[in-house]
Every structure is written in structure tokens, then in C-alpha cells.
């Protein structure tokens, strides 16, 4: 636990007393959170602005973080949501034609702390073996740290179990979304044609999910996580989408699950969920969720479609999972992780109601699973034909 010869300007303190010294960048100060690691090789800006990372500090296993700078097009929400970042090498000057600024200044402006010079391989092994620890990250240009106080703050962090964070990252009021996926050379374009009316419940929705819905032919209305079934159904939707988000699904489920159950009981419209939305749907159908040891965070996770045998490489970000042993009659498991066999998808056998644990919108990550948005759109079109 000794510091290196050069006086460190930041430190990462684990609740068990372990201290990692490094060089701080971005904002100064300190923050306590759960520590996870992400194995993606690209997309650090999208990761830091993903609302699902609320209450977490991200260790990036890929060393080249900051090398392409930052730009407004890659934000998944207005500002970073992750509490901080841990990297192997200090961020370099950006070298990319899309860069509008550098990572260090972006973090400083948005109040997020970074620490470089960390042995991220050792840290990642510790997370895998011991589970996601509670930590305090501190940055002081003078290198003055009260380690006992920092350890105490890490131990005082309540953790994510039982914590409803969706209320902290959801939208304040409903709004329409018509921006579609990025495409060369025009970039983001606006959807103008009428489409399937979709209500998207915002538990911490990423912008690229909403873009994928728009690109798949959906006229999207985003509503707060606390919206009631009456408010949702008053929109007369063709389908309901349940977004990704942070925190414990059981905690968010205290108000979201009754809403979902009412929608399922009162209508036969298609329902599609991603990540936290997947977990919310599972809870509404009668299953349970559990906290994982260290979760899944990365853009290279193999998932098997049980029904077709196809293997997809997916993007993931979750610390809780659906317990497949608790799925009720009439609900089948559709996808599993090839890393650990955990549940990655479900669907109702007799209705167009389905969800996946992973992120088919990628951003960052592969686009193997984009077809799920089209499947949702096709289900709404088929229902319209029957009507």
C-alpha cells in the first residue's frame, strides 16, 4: 500500500483498505460508488454517459482511453452519469476528425473524476474474484489524502441493492423523439413519416435506443419511469418499450411492475424491454432478479439464441440478472450468456411480449442484434393488420 516515488495526485480506495495510487485528471474532489470494469475497446464517452452506470465507477480494461477525444454526437444523455473512471494510461491529446474537445476537460466541466496510471489488470482480477467492491475515488492536485476517512466513506456507501436509481436519471416530463440512427454522410436525420405509436418508459434510456426505435419505423413518445398505466394507455400506443437503466430492479419495480402488469392485463399490444426493462418485464411476469458477483460490462459478450442456435456478440451493462429458475409457466427463456449461462432473454409463449438483457442498439458495440427492433416493429404491424 506504499505510494510510488512520484507523489500521486489521485487514489482509489477500496472498502477493504486496499489503495491504488495514480494520477488524477478531470474534476477534483472525491466520490464513493460501486466499482465495475468494462472490456469495450471503443466508446468510452458512450459508456460514461450511459444512465445505467449511475452509482458506479468504471474501470476500463482497454488502455487507450481518451485518444479520440469527445464530441456532442456521442453522448447517450446530456452529461456523464458514471461517477468516475479508472484507466491504465493517462489520456492523450485527441487524434480524430470528429473530436470537439479532450476527455480531461470534458470530465472537469461535468464534475467527473478520472485516475490514470492504475494496474487495471490487477484491479479487474480483484473485481472478478471478490465481487464489485465499494470504493472512494479522490483527486487532489496537491496529493493530500486522508486514507482513513476515504476508507470509511467507501464502507459507508450503501451499495446498489435495494436502490432505486431510475427516478434519478429519468426524464422530468414526456417528450417526442424522432431522431434516427447515425448514417454517413448526413449523420443523424429526422424521422418524418408516420409510424407505429410507441410509448418508451424511460428508466434511464440511452439516446441510441430511441434512435433505433425511430429508425425501425416507430413514432416514439418518451415517458417518465413513474408513469402510470392510465397515462401510458392514454397515448393509445401500438406498443410499449421498457428502457435500460441503473439500480436494483426490485426497487424500481415497486412502481414500474404494477404499471407493466396493468398494460399486459388491459391490452394485447406488443411489449419490448432492454436491460433494466428486461428485468422489469420478468418481475411483472412473476420471476425474480438477483445481484451478480461482478456483472457483465463490455461489448464482446457472446449470447446464444436458444430457439435458433445462433450466437450473437453483444454489448452488455448490468449488475443484476433474471433468475431463469423462477420464470413462470407461459414464459420461456430465449437467450443465455455463453460466459456464465445467465439469462439474457425471455418471451411470452402466446403473445408478442419479449425482452433481452443485452443492448441491441450497441453504442458502443456490435450490431448483431439490431433485428430485435425490427421484430418489435413487425409485431406491431401484424397486430394492426389483424385489427
Which residues are part of the catalytic machinery?
Answer: 275, 359, 361
Grid cell of 132 as nine digits = 464489485
CA angle 85–7–116, rounded 5-degree value: 20
Between CA 337 and CA 149 the distance in angstroms is 40
Give one DSSP letter per residue of 58-96, joined into a string.
Answer: EEESSS--STT-B-GGG-SSSS--SSEEE-SS-------
Cβ proximity of 110 and 81 under 8 Å:
no
- Alpha-carbon distance values, 341 to 322, 325, 330, 334, 379 (Å): 11, 12, 21, 12, 28
| Exposure class string for 122-151: b at 16+ Cβ within 10 A, else e | ebbebbeeeebbbbbbbbbeebebeeeebb
Dihedral Cα 178, 182, 187, 190, nearest 10 deg: -10
Amino acid at each position: 500500500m506504499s505510494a510510488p516515488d512520484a507523489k500521486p495526485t489521485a487514489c482509489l480506495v477500496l472498502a477493504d483498505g486496499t489503495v491504488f495510487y495514480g494520477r488524477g485528471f478531470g474534476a477534483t474532489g472525491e466520490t464513493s460508488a460501486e466499482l465495475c470494469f468494462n472490456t469495450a475497446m471503443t466508446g468510452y464517452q458512450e459508456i460514461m454517459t450511459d444512465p445505467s452506470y449511475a452509482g458506479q465507477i468504471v474501470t476500463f480494461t482497454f488502455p487507450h482511453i481518451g485518444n479520440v477525444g469527445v464530441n456532442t454526437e456521442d453522448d447517450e444523455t446530456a452529461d456523464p452519469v458514471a461517477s468516475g473512471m479508472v484507466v491504465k494510461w493517462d489520456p492523450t491529446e485527441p487524434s480524430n476528425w470528429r473530436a470537439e474537445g479532450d476527455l480531461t476537460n470534458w470530465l472537469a466541466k461535468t464534475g467527473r473524476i478520472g485516475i490514470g496510471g492504475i494496474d487495471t489488470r490487477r484491479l479487474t482480477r480483484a473485481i472478478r474474484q471478490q465481487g464489485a467492491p465499494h470504493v472512494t475515488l479522490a483527486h487532489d492536485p496537491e496529493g493530500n489524502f486522508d486514507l482513513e476517512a476515504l476508507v470509511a466513506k467507501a464502507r459507508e456507501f450503501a451499495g446498489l441493492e435495494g436502490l432505486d436509481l431510475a427516478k434519478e436519471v429519468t426524464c422530468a416530463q414526456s417528450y417526442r423523439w424522432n431522431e434516427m440512427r447515425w448514417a454517413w454522410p448526413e449523420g443523424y436525420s429526422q424521422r418524418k413519416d408516420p409510424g407505429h405509436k410507441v410509448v418508451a418508459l424511460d428508466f434511464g434510456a440511452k439516446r441510441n435506443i430511441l434512435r433505433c426505435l425511430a429508425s425501425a419505423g416507430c413514432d416514439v413518445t418518451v415517458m417518465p419511469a413513474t408513469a402510470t398505466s392510465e397515462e401510458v394507455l392514454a397515448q393509445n400506443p401500438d406498443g410499449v418499450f421498457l428502457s435500460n437503466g441503473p439500480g436494483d430492479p426490485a426497487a424500481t419495480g415497486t412502481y414500474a411492475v404494477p404499471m407493466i402488469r396493468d398494460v399486459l392485463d388491459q391490452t394485447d399490444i406488443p411489449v419490448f424491454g432492454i436491460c433494466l426493462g428486461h428485468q422489469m418485464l420478468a418481475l411483472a411476469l412473476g420471476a425474480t432478479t438477483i445481484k451478480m458477483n461482478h456483472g457483465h460490462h463490455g461489448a464482446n459478450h457472446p449470447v446464444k439464441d436458444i430457439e435458433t442456435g445462433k450466437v450473437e456478440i453483444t454489448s452488455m451493462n448490468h449488475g443484476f440478472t433474471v433468475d431463469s429458475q423462477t420464470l413462470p409457466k407461459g414464459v420461456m427463456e430465449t437467450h443465455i450468456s455463453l460466459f456464465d449461462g445467465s439469462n439474457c432473454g425471455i418471451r411470452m409463449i402466446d403473445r408478442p411480449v419479449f425482452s433481452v438483457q443485452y443492448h441491441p442498439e450497441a453504442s458502443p458495440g456490435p450490431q448483431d442484434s439490431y433485428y430485435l427492433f425490427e421484430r418489435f416493429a413487425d409485431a406491431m404491424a401484424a397486430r394492426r393488420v389483424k385489427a
